Amino acid sequence: MKKSGTLTIDGFPLSYSIEGEGIPVLVVGSTVYYSQLFTQEIKKKLQFFFVDHRGFVKPPRSLSPEDYQLNLMLDDIESIRQMLNLEEFVILGHSGHAFMALEYARKYPECVKKVVLLNSAPTNSKERQQQSFSFFRDTASDERKRQFEKDIALLERDIEKDPERRFVHMCIRMGAQSFYDYTFDATDLWEGVYTNMQIIDHLWGEVFGSLNLLQSLKHFNKPVFIGLGRYDYLVAPVSLWDPVEDLSLKVEKVIFEHSGHNPMLEEPHEFNKRLVNWIYEVDDFIR
């Protein structure tokens, strides 16, 4: 059974979609985008709460920086949690939203039982981004690099034609760095996804570059699942996460060997099995 709606916070119409049954999992990001990535099979085991943040909805007014500070968006998540009567849940953040998910769990730990961080590097700093690109240049197959060069050559034209969707265009044209199948075309996944570039630029360009997940996890005492794709060149290499082994016995790191940036879509059977087993492994939930 699927339920959806819109919750207005400070004028922002934040949509949500509830799908599946089982332990609740709150997924931070775009409701339109993320609701497509998880299979119906996993929704038989977990109840997903897909929720927008301010970067994925049309703004109610001209915005100032005070309208999209990270702490404000964490407060939005908390307001949504209260409105949807979520008392015990897993919070899941994918890619840049891993930073948002962990920061929410640190600020509002009371109802969060576990945290899932998928396909993120420990930081989004410019230095790390260059490291990832160098890794791609030095280790990717020639066929993959040729596909990347072919696709990325079209990015400038795409942005000139539709500058307000430059984040979407970039995600699509970087498919050879994003997917195990480097010819995969992600255009359909982004259909209907609204992006507010003022907020997206702030989050990816400033906020996520200033945070470090390894540092944030040092004194974090809840179970954490870190899922990575071996061929996820956007946040490569997976060895960036090696130091996490020394941080906590509550951290489980899983590398999906035939995935890029979206193992839930690329290796659904293995992804579903590993995530569901981990969530149910320690029964901290009222069932």
Indicate which residues carry an active-site annotation.
Answer: 95, 232, 261
Cα–Cα distance, 106 to 112 (Å, whole number): 9
**Cβ count within 10 A of residue 169:** 22
Report the SS3 class of residue 19.
strand
User: Could you tell me which of 128, 103, 119 has the C-alpha nearest to residue 37?
Assistant: 119
**Residue 187 — φ and ψ, nearest 5°?**
-55, -45
CA 97 to chain centre: 4
**Cβ count within 10 A of residue 149:** 10
CB 26 within 8 A of CB 90: yes
Report the SS3 class of residue 21.
coil
**Cβ count within 10 A of residue 278:** 18
Kindly write down the DSSP assignment for every residue of 162-174, as one continuous string. -GGGHHHHHHHHT
The token pair at 286 is 């009222």
